[in-house]
Structure 1
Amino acid sequence: MPMFTTRGAGVAVVACLAASSAHATDPTPKWCQGVKIAAFPGGPQGAVFANNVYNGFKQAELDLGPGVTYYFSDWDPNKMLTQIQQALATKVDGIATYGFGGEPATAPLVDQAYAQGTIFTSLNTALPESEKKYGSKGFGYVGAPNYSAGFSLGAEAAKRAGLKAGDSVFVWGLKGQGGDRGQRTVGVIDAFEKAGAKVIYQEIDTATNADPNAGTATFVGVMKANPDIKIVVTDHGALTSNVGVFARAASLKPGQVYFAGFDMSPNTAKAVKEGYQNLVIDQQPFLQGYLPILNICLTKKFGFAGFDVNTAGAFVDEKNVDAVAPLAAKEIR
């Protein structure tokens, strides 16, 4: 009898411990409920790439339960900086935004955020000094290492197109934009110059940045003035989605010029299948929305440090586009 009693007590203790342990680790739905976040999709509402980021934000909001306010910035760094100030004034728990403004303009806002208890984290465009300063307090980065991504795209396009020293290439980008964002265009140019190419560069103007159709005349003019261009790189997701329009306007046949660019979209997938678009880096912008919300929630609820995630790990071309196209149609990839 004593042995039975002891064993029974032991079982009871074990059962109690098991129940306590299970209770402590049981998954909790909407575990980030009550946390208030300001999230920045980047472009105008419904825009290419911005909508993929927005969809990631929305899925994280649904899964995790925070209250999220959205700020659409029309790809305008100055507008984004103003909106960040507005978000800070509302004393939100966290801000997930692009680093378009660069460190000099954005770092004071990051300092203000952490001074008032707001977690600040970046996506798509890094703020490395701010991340170094506040990483232990939740500042992370979700996106591509931009210079490396640009260089990789340029080098891969040069290899696949059989680029030779002296050949002409057209890079249409945002070299003049501050901070890390401009470095992606610089990376593309550096790769082509390393290959000995003649680089024809055009900065994306404000109108084309907001609406790629506004750049059609510019593209046609560059191509007519330089008919020997062998490769075109569009360093902008919306411009990449418009390659079919640009090529037809310039009377180019599929494959006549090698097109490389950034970011998948339904139109980009279509252009790849048609033979106009040859190479795309998929930055997986859905993750650039979802993971920063998760980052803020983890930091706010559990004190986790920020995390750094490279989302640009794959090229898309005619060989694998069929696997990605259905997801691009849903604006997930």
Structure 2
Amino acid sequence: MKLSKILAGVALTLGTLSATYPLAGYCSTKSGSGMDIWFDTGGPVGGAYNTIVQNGAKQACVDLGCDIRFLYSNWSPQKMIENFNRAMSSSPDGIVVMGHPGDDAFEKLIREARDSGIQVTSSDTELPRLMSEYQSEGFGYAGTDNRTRGTMLASETLRRYPLKAGDRALVWGLKSKPNRGLSTLGMIDTLEEAGLEVDYMEISAELDKDPTLGMPLMTAYLSRHADTKLIMIDHGALTGQLENFLRAAGIGPNQIVTAGFSLSPASATAMQRGYINLIGDGQPFLQGYLPVVQLVMSKRYGFSGLQVDTGGGFITKENIDMVAPLAKKGLR
């Protein structure tokens, strides 16, 4: 079923609920009418990945009738905390967070928001302890289990490509970050269990913000390790730069097995040209759309938090031509 039909069905269902069951005096044909939502998209303005998240949230607000304001954190956990404080000071109906700062950093703030009547839910990176505490009150999660997604991408790569014990692999990731880093650890552990020799590079805060800065790092690594058989990147925007990095290092299509996350116009083109072999698809459009639905349903009708795994699928050379046009539209 096409995504547009699924989302239209969700919107129709919610609209019918509002008209048929006007709880607490709400009689609007759109369930979110009059609601004010703040949404931290995680990345920078115009970032490849978080723009798709933003597009999903925008569509949800069109469908449900709520107002939305977007925040941008350049993938900085500290900035996410600052943005949460900023959002909370405006007393909105709901706030969507990404869980990169971790449970400890968010705990006091989310408790304060909840005590003030502000609904909170999460996207992209889970906050397991806070969700356990507040799920019955509407705190949900739309995204992937980070440890699982890293393990699955590494396992699928090993299944598809003739890599063997002793082969050199590079993992470029974020293992220093709480919760978010579990994806990177899943990759490393899976590859090491298969006997590969794994090198690791941490994505710096500067590189997290601007992935084009990764070119000299990648070319320097490959010049020192010409025997590299596999590159895995735990970062959507950085995955989108892989073709540029490999070209700069003098590496041609399909010379090194490459895998990463998050479809974008750049990564779609790179896959079609043979510079990316496998993409783990977390479906960020849904990571934007579903948290807005969560806030509306919890705020208006008292529904508890939903935990929705938006990932589990893979983009490959077999299906890239079908989804590449959707990537250009900012839907996939």
**Identical positions, percent:** 40
> Residues of 2 paired with 1:294 and 1:167: CA distance?
45
Question: In the alignment, which of 7, 12, 24 is matched to residue 20 of structure 2?
Answer: 24
* Distance change >3 Å, CA 62–CA 312, structure 1 → 2: same
- 8 Å contact kept, 1:161–1:231: no
Could you tell me which residue of structure 2 aligns to residue 288 of structure 1?
Answer: 287
Could you tell me which residue of structure 2 aligns to residue 3 of structure 1?
Answer: none
> Residues of 2 paired with 1:102 and 1:22: CA distance?
35
Could you tell me which residue of structure 2 aligns to residue 208 of structure 1?
Answer: 207
Could you tell me which residue of structure 2 aligns to residue 307 of structure 1?
Answer: 306
Could you tell me which residue of structure 1 aligns to residue 126 of structure 2?
Answer: 126
> Residues of 2 paired with 1:127 and 1:243: CA distance?
30
* Distance change >3 Å, CA 110–CA 267, structure 1 → 2: same
- AA at the equivalent of 2:230: I
**Residue 28 of structure 1: how far off its partner (Å):** 5.3
**Residue 30 of structure 1: how far off its partner (Å):** 2.5
> Residues of 1 paired with 2:53 and 2:75: CA distance?
13
* Distance change >3 Å, CA 76–CA 195, structure 1 → 2: same
> Residues of 2 paired with 1:275 and 1:257: CA distance?
10
> Residues of 2 paired with 1:24 and 1:44: CA distance?
41
Q: Which runs of no fewer than 5 residues in structure 2 stay unpaired?
A: 1-16
> Residues of 1 paired with 2:197 and 2:104: CA distance?
33
Residues 71-101 of structure 1, C-alpha deviations (whole Å, 9 max, x = no match):
1111111101111011111111111110010
* Distance change >3 Å, CA 167–CA 91, structure 1 → 2: same
**Residue 313 of structure 1: how far off its partner (Å):** 2.1
Could you tell me which residue of structure 1 aligns to residue 151 of structure 2?
Answer: 151
RMSD: 1.6
Runs of 4+, deviation exceeding 2 Å: 21-31
> Residues of 2 paired with 1:93 and 1:25: CA distance?
20
> Residues of 1 paired with 2:70 and 2:207: CA distance?
23
> Residues of 1 paired with 2:215 and 2:286: CA distance?
30
- AA at the equivalent of 2:296: C
> Residues of 2 paired with 1:234 and 1:246: CA distance?
12
- Secondary structure of 1:180's partner? coil
Could you tell me which residue of structure 2 aligns to residue 36 of structure 1?
Answer: 36
Rg: which structure is higher? 1
Q: Which runs of no fewer than 5 residues in structure 1 stay unpaired?
A: 1-20
- Secondary structure of 1:239's partner? helix
- Counting matched residue pairs gives 312
- AA at the equivalent of 2:20: A
Q: Does 1:242 align with 2:241?
A: yes
- AA at the equivalent of 2:250: S
**Residue 24 of structure 1: how far off its partner (Å):** 2.9
> Residues of 1 paired with 2:186 and 2:106: CA distance?
23
* Distance change >3 Å, CA 23–CA 60, structure 1 → 2: closer
- Secondary structure of 2:186's partner? helix
- AA at the equivalent of 1:83: N
* Distance change >3 Å, CA 301–CA 85, structure 1 → 2: same
Could you tell me which residue of structure 1 aligns to residue 55 of structure 2?
Answer: 55
- Secondary structure of 2:254's partner? coil
- Secondary structure of 1:181's partner? coil
- 8 Å contact kept, 1:163–1:195: no
Could you tell me which residue of structure 2 aligns to residue 230 of structure 1?
Answer: 229
- AA at the equivalent of 1:137: E
* Distance change >3 Å, CA 56–CA 22, structure 1 → 2: closer
TM-score relative to the length of structure 1: 0.91
> Residues of 2 paired with 1:168 and 1:22: CA distance?
57
- 8 Å contact kept, 2:77–2:100: yes
- Secondary structure of 2:230's partner? strand
Could you tell me which residue of structure 2 aligns to residue 13 of structure 1?
Answer: none
Residues 120-146 of structure 1, C-alpha deviations (whole Å, 9 max, x = no match):
111010001100100011100000111
Q: Does 1:325 align with 2:324?
A: yes
- AA at the equivalent of 2:56: G
